[in-house]
Amino acid sequence: MITFASLNKKGNLGNQLFYIASTIGIAKCNGHKYEFPEWQYADYFAEKLPVINSNVYFKKIIEVSNNYYDWKIGEENYDITGALQSEKYFSIKDTKKQFEFNLQFSLPLNNKYQFLFNKKNIVVSVRRGDFVYHPNYFQLSYKYYFLAITKNFTDWQERNLIFLSDDINYCKYHFGFMKNTFFLENLTPMEQLAITAKGQDFVISNSTFSWWVAWLAEKEDSKIIRPLKNFRGSYAELNDDSDFFPSRWIEFDHNKKNISKTYSGLIIKGVCYQIFIIVQFVAKKGFLLPKRIFSKIANLLFK
């Protein structure tokens, strides 16, 4: 038997979907059954997870590599701990079935938001929050999202652009001028997943939630644009993230491209917003900073 005992205690929804999918995949590959603690999101899905028997003893085993590898599990009961962030751990077909939404939950949402998908569309998942200036995560500015849309989809102006984010006001500020733009607001992460499951093509960030937005909705002809990488800095040197994004998704390096002067207004707004965020960031740390510390902050912001 294999479980992930800390399912509800580690990470948010995107992380937890990885825990479940990969644990099931590892169990099946090693001829084990699997069980989980009662999951807070279980009722949103049609397929129910087998619930763990509290009387069973599990031997804890810890992930030793950020990338996919063969766990070589024996015959004991095991409690897995790790990020497990690779599609290589699980069956696409089985996982799609495991995460089919409960129709009582998804149908009302699909009916309400059907108008978003009445024409070709691009779903854009923007991660902000604690990712902004985080030393471990590759940084994505407004330029990434805008260029990913305009450089990879020649017909973007004829499509519906559907934005979801943990900072939707950021999206409105930068992208509100674009044609046929819609912003998903006042929705839970699970509701956002269910709605965007009808999406066709995607531009995503390097968050686990963005990953699942695209993965759960992916069709045979979907085009998914993803960032250059997941991690940065010294953390990236210690943690290989090459298995995080599926190889079929399209890598986009926005740093090698420029926004057309046609959109100079967006550039000005972007610069103003960046200055505001930097001032806000420094203010939280204190204005009178030693030169050495200020240099470290500057390197962190602009690396």
pLDDT at 230: 92
Distance CA 175, CA 138 (A): 21
pLDDT at 300: 53
DSSP H helices, the chain, are 13-29, 92-98, 103-112, 142-152, 168-175, 189-196, 208-217, 233-238, 264-285, 291-302
pLDDT at 289: 52
Q: Cα(first)–Cα(last) distance of the chain, in Å? A: 45
pLDDT at 178: 95
Burial of 10 (0-12, 13-18, 19+ CB in 10 A): middle
pLDDT at 297: 54
pLDDT at 287: 54
CATH for the 114-259 domain, from 3.60.150.10, 3.40.50.2300, 3.40.50.2000, 3.50.50.60: 3.40.50.2000
Q: What is the pLDDT of residues 122-146, one digit of tens each?
A: 999 999 988 888 899 889 999 999 9
Token readout for 215 is 């993965």
Contacts 24+ apart (CB under 8 A), 112-115: 113/195, 113/198, 114/198
pLDDT at 129: 85
Residue closest to 147 by CA, chosen among 228, 215, 249, 241: 228
Q: Where in the chain are the domains?
A: 2-100, 114-259, 268-303
Return the number of other C-beta atoms located less than 10 Å from residue 299's C-beta.
10
Tokens 């984010």 label which residue?
A: 165
pLDDT at 303: 45
pLDDT at 293: 58
Token readout for 225 is 């644009």
Distance CA 197, CA 205 (A): 17
> What is the mean pLDDT for each group of 10 consecutive residues in the chain (303 residues)?
95 97 97 96 97 89 92 93 97 96 98 98 95 88 97 97 97 95 98 98 98 98 97 90 97 94 92 81 61 55 45
